[in-house]
Structure formats: structure tokens, C-alpha cells
Structure 1
Amino acid sequence: MPKEPRPYHMHNPEGMYFVTCTVVFWLDVFIRAKYKEVFVESLKFCCQHKGLQVHAWCLMTSHAHLILSAKDPETTNLAGVLRDFKKYTAQQIIREIESTLLESRRDWLLDKFEFAAKSNSRNTTYQFWQQNNHALELTSNNFMDQKLQYIHENSVKEGWVEEPEHYLYSSARDYAGLNGLVPITFIE
């Protein structure tokens, strides 16, 4: 009898997935420009060098929503790229938090990351991201459209902007014909 795929995992190498990367305890980390920059530059690197295709994204204060796929499913392990992305961004952001005197929440944040790591045997000192990405394969146009709209409306629902394309840290800009921060492979 074939083994059932685990829910919320990237089991189809050719699939397109909606994922959410969430900071432990939903901590509002991405309120500082430097941390946002680490996220964006790392995402761009994965697109340029690791075979990642980003179809949509939006960075919020405590999490990010993305629609992703592999450029070449034969050579790119999408789950592996996402794992490496999260590991690298966690290390870089924690390094930034530790090294800057301008982070007023430094001790508090590091304490929370240390506490989260204690309940996870995979971590030694700190845990930045929650382990689960809640990956959902987009198997229909309707589901894809729903998730694309959801991602792009996040900043509007938060009251940060009146129109999705006005939010800098989102692919809504690209879909509106403006220059975005991350290379996008449009959903047709």
C-alpha cells in the first residue's frame, strides 16, 4: 500500500506551494529595516543561485507568506531550499540582533529565541523560525487566485497602505507593473 503524503509538506517536486514562515511566538521582528533587508537579499539569492521561483510574497512583522516552486524540479529540492533559506536568515538576523546596540529589545528577543530552542532538539542555542511552513500545494486556479489575493491584501488589512502595490515588501508591486524587490515569476 503506498504511503500517504504528510499534510503540509512539499511532496510534489513539480508543485507550486503557498507557505508561511513564522517567527517563533509570532514575535514582531521585521519592524527594523536591516532585518527586512536580510530577508529580501536571502530570497533574491535563492532565486538567482538555488533554483527557487517566487511567484508571490509579502513580508509582515512576524511572518512571511510566499508562493514558491522549483525552477527545475529535477535538480532543485524546494523543501531543501526553503530549509536553507530559513536557516541562513535566522543566523543573519540573530547576528544582527546580537551585534547592534540600536536594538532596544535585544535581550528580550534573544531570551525568547533561546527559550524556543530548548524545546527543539534540532537547535542548540536559538530558534528563530517556527519549524512548520504549513505548505499547501496550489492545485487549482481558484485556490491559486485566492492565495495570491490573500498575500497581496495583507498589508491593506493591517492598515499600512491603502493599495497593495504601495507596500514595498510585497510582490503586489510587481503584479501592478511597478519594480519590486525580489525577482518574480508571474502566475498566469
Structure 2
Amino acid sequence: MQLTPRPYSLRNPEGIYFVTFSVVFWLDVFVRQSFKNLFVESLNFCIKNKGLRVHAWCLMTSHVHLIISAAEPEKVNLSDILRDLKKFTASQIIREIETGSESRREWLLDKFRFAASQNSRNTTYQFWQQDNHAEELLSNKFIDQKLNYIHENPVKEGWVEEPQFYVYSSARDYSGNKGLVPINFLD
């Protein structure tokens, strides 16, 4: 029996992918500075130590958009990097919620606990939704569309008037300013 590839999977090791992953139930977790910083630090760690290339990114309150590729596709697996990024950020944010001064502590932990109870792969909590909604970018038109979509997200939410004013996005880099994450620019 031949297995059908899963939709939105990272099949081409040399591909450039638009990836979105979301907090369970689209919970607005990234409204706290400490959680945003933790995600940025983790993304930077994966760039420096795991062979992740980030071409564009934007952290929203309940999800993240990335355009990524593997620095050395023959040596690293992009799916493994994303798995590790999600696993680490989930454990660190949950630990911060448990031990910090999060005002929504019980409510958030209850939601994460319930999500885990619905998924046999989890034991106590589930922070991220399982899928990564990965789409390989195969044309310049598709690349431009996704790049614009990522950078316009905070503008559409009304957080900033121009994309480059949102700190948690690569729009800053694409406008000539230094952002929080090293970017491999798309041609």
C-alpha cells in the first residue's frame, strides 16, 4: 500500500516553505512580553544551532507565520527543527504560566490540559496545534503574496500603521532596519 503524502507537509528538503502554526483554540498567549521574547529567543537558537533559515516571520497573539528553509538540507530536517521549536517553546511558556504571575493561569492551563486530553500524543498539556500548515513556495508570485501577507498581518489588526513598525516581524528587516531575528532575504 502506497502512503499518500500529508497535505501541508515539508516534503522537499531543499524547499522554501510558508508555515503557520497556532496555539490550541487560537488562544491569545503572545500578549505578554515574556512569552514573545521566549519565542524570539527560541527562533534565534534554532537559526544559530539547528540550521534553520528564516526568510520572513511575524508573531501574532495566537499564531506565528514563517517563511523558512534548511541551511543545509542534506544535514538537517526542517520538520525536526519545527518539532523542536514548538516543543521547547510550549514547555517554557507553560512553565512560565505555572510559576509566573500570569493572571489567566488556571484558565490557560485548563485549556491546555483539555487539548492534551483530546490527543493521544500528549500527556499533561498541549500548547500548539499539531499541524504546521506548510506550503512550499514554488513561484515568485507565491513568495511575494506570502511575504506581503505575513508583513501586513499587524497592520490589518490595527496594531501599527506600517508593517515595519511592528517589532515582532521581519518587515523591519525588509524596510532596512535591524529586526530581532537574522533574516535570509528572499530575492
Structure 1 vs Structure 2 CA RMSD: 1.1
Amino acid in structure 2 at the alignment position of 1:180: G
Match runs of 1:64-143 below 5 Å: 64-100=64-100, 102-143=101-142
Per the alignment, residue 23 of structure 2 pairs with 23
Per the alignment, residue 40 of structure 2 pairs with 40
Amino acid in structure 2 at the alignment position of 1:72: E
Per the alignment, residue 179 of structure 2 pairs with 180
Per the alignment, residue 8 of structure 2 pairs with 8
Amino acid in structure 2 at the alignment position of 1:71: A
TM-score using structure 2 length: 0.98
Q: Deviations over 1:6-28 (max 9, x none)?
A: 21000000000001110000000
Equivalences, count: 187
Uncovered stretches (5+) of structure 2, i.e. residues with no partner: none
Q: Deviations over 1:119-169 (max 9, x none)?
A: 111110000000011100001110010000000000000000000000000
Uncovered stretches (5+) of structure 1, i.e. residues with no partner: none
Shift of 1:72: 0.5
Per the alignment, residue 150 of structure 1 pairs with 149
Identity of aligned residues (%): 71
Amino acid in structure 2 at the alignment position of 1:47: I
Which stretches of structure 1, 4 residues or longer, exceed 6 Å deviation after superposition?
Answer: none
TM-score using structure 1 length: 0.97
Paired residue secondary structure (1:43): helix
How many angstroms apart in 1 are the aligned matches of 2:26 and 2:17? 22
How many angstroms apart in 1 are the aligned matches of 2:42 and 2:104? 23
How many angstroms apart in 2 are the aligned matches of 1:168 and 1:83? 25
C-alpha distance 61-114 of structure 1, shift in aligned 2 (>3 A): same
